[in-house]
Amino acid sequence: MRALPFLTFQPSSDSVAAAAMSAYVHIFDGRVISDRRRGADEPGGEGTVFLAEFEVAGLRIRCSDSAITHAWDVTPAMSIWVDCHTEDDQRRVFTALSEDGQEFMPLGDYGFGPFGWVQDRFGVSWQIGVTAD
């Protein structure tokens, strides 16, 4: 048994699963594990992501472009926590994720070490810290 996060992207977002996956793999020097796209006759549109899995910072994540519009979207109440090894890595990752996104807590020391919280341009929320290890 295993558990992993699943990111669902809405059709109103113009099918962004592939773009999000590509950005995350680039930012975190990750890798795509699988990427199944829809065909011409499948609901959701040809070339949209039916189901994909990728790995970033040691975490496997699945994603999909939804074929239907749901009454909900990604919420910042659920976020992905990333421990960076250095403050330079933290700044690089935070800056990349912040581009066209929204900063909830800018990089700073909030009493528990270097930290920042951002929602990226795809709507996914990330908390970026620096590990004490």
Asked whether residue 72 is assigned to any structural domain, the reply reads no
| In contact, 98 and 118? CB cutoff 8 Å | yes
If asked whether residues 44 and 84 sit together in one domain, one would say no
User: Which CATH number goes with the domain that contains 102?
Assistant: 3.30.720.110
If asked whether residues 87 and 61 sit together in one domain, one would say no
User: Which CATH number goes with the domain that contains 56?
Assistant: 3.30.720.100
Structural domain of residue 40, as residue ranges? 6-65
| In contact, 109 and 115? CB cutoff 8 Å | yes
The number of domains in the chain is 2
Asked whether residue 28 is assigned to any structural domain, the reply reads yes
If asked whether residues 85 and 44 sit together in one domain, one would say no
Asked whether residue 31 is assigned to any structural domain, the reply reads yes
Asked whether residue 74 is assigned to any structural domain, the reply reads no
**Tokens at residue 37, please?**
């796209």
pLDDT (tens digit, 9 = 90+) per residue, 57-101?
Answer: 999 999 999 999 888 888 888 999 999 999 999 999 999 999 999
Residue 15 is predicted with a pLDDT of: 64
What's the pTM value of the predicted model, to 2 decimals?
0.92
DSSP secondary structure letter of residue 124: -
SS3 58: coil
If asked whether residues 52 and 21 sit together in one domain, one would say yes
If asked whether residues 126 and 84 sit together in one domain, one would say yes
CA distance 12 to 56: 26
Asked whether residue 111 is assigned to any structural domain, the reply reads yes
pLDDT at 16 over 70: yes
SS (H, E, C) 63-107: EEECCCCCCCCCCCCCEEEEEECCHHHHHHHHHHHHCCCEEEEEE
pLDDT (tens digit, 9 = 90+) per residue, 42-64?
Answer: 888 899 999 999 999 999 999 99
If asked whether residues 11 and 60 sit together in one domain, one would say yes
Asked whether residue 1 is assigned to any structural domain, the reply reads no
Asked whether residue 73 is assigned to any structural domain, the reply reads no
CA distance 22 to 115: 24
If asked whether residues 60 and 104 sit together in one domain, one would say no
If asked whether residues 58 and 83 sit together in one domain, one would say no
pLDDT at 37 over 70: yes
Q: Is the dihedral of CA 119, 120, 122, 126 positive or negative?
A: negative
